[in-house]
Chain A
Amino acid sequence: EAQVTQNPRYLITVTGKKLTVTCSQNMNHEYMSWYRQDPGLGLRQIYYSMNVEVTDKGDVPEGYKVSRKEKRNFPLILESPSPNQTSLYFCASSGRGGNEQYFGPGTRLTVT
């Protein structure tokens, strides 16, 4: 079954404590990205990756890091989380052309 998995699904943490949200896809897609969803703003792209070792900033990259060491994995790293990063995060992947976009189940992050 084609799928994108994310872990953890829920996370409550404190300001400044580094965390990583994992993302993995089993479709051999080149393109992966991270989005955050906030009320009234829809989803906004944080970072994306075109392939292994190729990443670039999206629209709201501040406070986040990513890496793409393997094609299937694209973790999101918050080195020093702050309360304004409390949000619902989605990982997504797509093949060339982008006509099929697959989303993970989401990670609900709360930073206190």
Chain B
Amino acid sequence: AQKITQTQPGMFVQEKEAVTLDCTYDTSDPSYGLFWYKQPSSGEMIFLIYQGSYDQQNATEGRYSLNFQKARKSANLVISASQLGDSAMYFCAMRGGRYGNKLVFGAGTILRVKS
């Protein structure tokens, strides 16, 4: 069975500083994908970044980067130059299931950016 663990229930970061949100995963499948989603207080799920298990380089999308350490089974999200608008819940998720389309989510990390 696949599992995602996010050990940080809540995090604070000062505006303009970088922050790392932790995510570890467990799977026996050689092919998988890892996602990060942002959920602001309005509730929608916003896709941030994706990393495939066979991707050679760490994924980056603007201020978001994914620190993928396959041997350690970790997929931490790094947000650079934090902004007040980054305050939200962040979910790490893994693609899997019988057809490879199911997402298994972690419990989430609430990030608060301080001015």
Residues on A lying within 8 angstroms of B by beta carbon are 31, 33, 35, 40-45, 48, 50, 58, 88, 90, 92, 94, 97-101, 103, 105-106, 108
Contact in complex: A42, B95 (CB < 8 Å): no
Contact in complex: B95, A98 (CB < 8 Å): yes
Stretch from B68-76, B77-85, B98-106 at the A interface? B98-106
Per-residue CB contact flags for chain B residues 30-68 toward chain A (1 = under 8 Å, else 0) read 000101010000011101001010000000000000000
> Closest Cβ of chain A: how far from B36's Cβ, in Å?
12
Partner of A101, one of B35, B44, B52: B35
Contact in complex: B91, A99 (CB < 8 Å): no
Q: Helix, strand, loop or mixed for chain A's interface?
A: strand
Whether B88 sits at the interface, judged by CB under 8 Å, is no
Q: Given A40-B107, A99-B33, verify A58-B43 contact (CB < 8 Å).
A: no
Residues of B within 8 A of A41 (CB): 107
Residues of B within 8 A of A45 (CB): 97, 102-103
Tell me the complex Cα distance, A88–B107, Å: 14
Contact in complex: A90, B45 (CB < 8 Å): yes
Residues on B lying within 8 angstroms of A by beta carbon are 4, 33, 35, 37, 43-45, 47, 50, 52, 91, 93, 95, 97, 99-103, 105-108
Tell me the complex Cα distance, A31–B103, Å: 12
Tell me the complex Cα distance, A48–B102, Å: 8
Residues of B within 8 A of A33 (CB): 101-102
Partner of A99, one of B50, B93, B97: B50
Residues of A within 8 A of B107 (CB): 40-42
Contact in complex: A92, B103 (CB < 8 Å): yes
Contact in complex: A42, B43 (CB < 8 Å): no
Contact in complex: A103, B44 (CB < 8 Å): yes
In the complex, 17 of the A-B residue pairs with CB atoms within 8 angstroms, ordered by the A residue number, are: A31-B101, A41-B107, A42-B93, A42-B106, A43-B91, A88-B43, A90-B45, A97-B100, A98-B33, A99-B33, A99-B52, A101-B35, A101-B47, A101-B103, A103-B37, A103-B44, A106-B43
